[in-house]
Amino acid sequence: MKPRIVIALGAAALSKWSARVQEELPEADVTTRDAERETADDTATPADYALVWRPHPSFFLEQSRLKAVFNLGAGIDALAAMATFPRSVPLIRLEDAGMAGPMAQYALAVALRYAYRFEEYAQRQAQRQWAPRRPFAPAEVTVGVLGLGAIGGAVARALVEQGFQVRGYARTRHESGAVRAYSGPAELPAFLTGLQILVNTLPLTADTTGILRREHLERLADGAHVVNLARGAHLDEADLLALLDAGKLAGATLDVFAVEPLPAEHPFWSHPRVTVTPHVSGVTLLEDSVRQVAHKIRSLERGEPVGGVVDWKRGY
């Protein structure tokens, strides 16, 4: 039988995605559903596979025979928090799918900016001060990467390639070349201690929510820089602002926020040491994602196992 696929995305993206999925899987029957529609359609045709990004909870009320759900992003936190999401159906997240390379470059840009003291010169510039200082060599800068999955692993490797000293932290041990590996809560303090740059790529789970809080950020080197590429809820915003204002931290580059879009009145917008980017470090790429999902649907149809299946016990 033809596999039936439903794609639930924002209305603007639907036709492009459905055309591409249909092209990649000509044997499938592809339909679309506006992810934002708030009412469940009782007459919707039951699909085998759903491809979704943050659909309205009503979507899962109208799809009761799904064999698998593909999350068209890396982070599954929105679905994890959705009461209507059917936990018995395998949820499969994107693995890299072209996101890891750009995220590694984003992190590298921040690390080089730190090494060249751009942040410091921005403060000097505001006072019209000409104050040259030797840049740090990458080997003099220790960067910690929180999370060593498809994304964090790529970030750590890119930093190593440029000569930075890199530590990596993950739930379980990941030994990889020049990255000094730390794992589990007991090793978190040693991982954090003395880092000049901390880059967060962790999945959002009960264990990682609020991990960027005072108790942990205070362990970083004086004048450290914090980079959040994962989820706003990893960061305690008040703690970050207090540590920046106290001079403990020199800066932060934030791509994700507790509330997105970042509200107009939020203090991050005007903070001289905070760089705000609008959740752009790792966008879902249509081509790479469709190819990855199509490959996995074919594997599932043949009864073969696929990667990226969410393990609800660990939360990602």
Query: Binding residues for ligand GLV, per CB under 6 A?
Result: 73-75, 282, 284
Residue with tokens 């999945």: 203
As measured in angstroms, the least distance from the Cβ of 137 to ligand GLV is 33
Q: Is the peptide bond before 272 cis (omega within 30 degrees of 0)?
A: no
- Closer to ligand GLV by Cβ: residue 73 or 138: 73
As measured in angstroms, the least distance from the Cβ of 75 to ligand GLV is 3
- φ/ψ (deg, to 5) at 176: -155, 105
CA angle 157, 78, 158 (to 5 degrees): 10
Tokens of 137: 């060599």
Residue with tokens 């990004």: 53
Q: Burial, 122: exposed, middle or buried (Cβ in 10 Å; 0-12, 13-18, 19+)?
A: middle
* Long-range CB pairs of 157-161, under 8 A, 24+ apart, other chains included: 157/104, 158/104, 158/105, 158/107, 158/108, 159/104, 159/107, 159/108, 159/111
- Closer to ligand GLV by Cβ: residue 100 or 192: 100
* Long-range CB pairs of 114-121, under 8 A, 24+ apart, other chains included: 114/141, 114/196, 114/197, 114/225, 114/251, 115/141, 119/225, 119/250, 119/251, 119/273, 120/250
As measured in angstroms, the least distance from the Cβ of 259 to ligand GLV is 14
CA angle 70, 299, 72 (to 5 degrees): 15
- Closer to ligand GLV by Cβ: residue 35 or 115: 35
As measured in angstroms, the least distance from the Cβ of 77 to ligand GLV is 8
Dist CA 108 CA 152 (whole Å): 12
As measured in angstroms, the least distance from the Cβ of 43 to ligand GLV is 31
Nearest residue to the partner ligand GLV, using Cβ: 73
Dist CA 299 CA 305 (whole Å): 7
Taking the alpha carbons of 301, 305, 307, 310 in that order, is the dihedral positive or negative? Answer: positive
In eight-state DSSP terms, residue 139 is G
Catalytic residues: 231, 279
- Closer to ligand GLV by Cβ: residue 164 or 316: 316
- Closer to ligand GLV by Cβ: residue 96 or 236: 96
- Closer to ligand GLV by Cβ: residue 74 or 115: 74
Taking the alpha carbons of 72, 76, 81, 82 in that order, is the dihedral positive or negative? Answer: positive
As measured in angstroms, the least distance from the Cβ of 42 to ligand GLV is 31
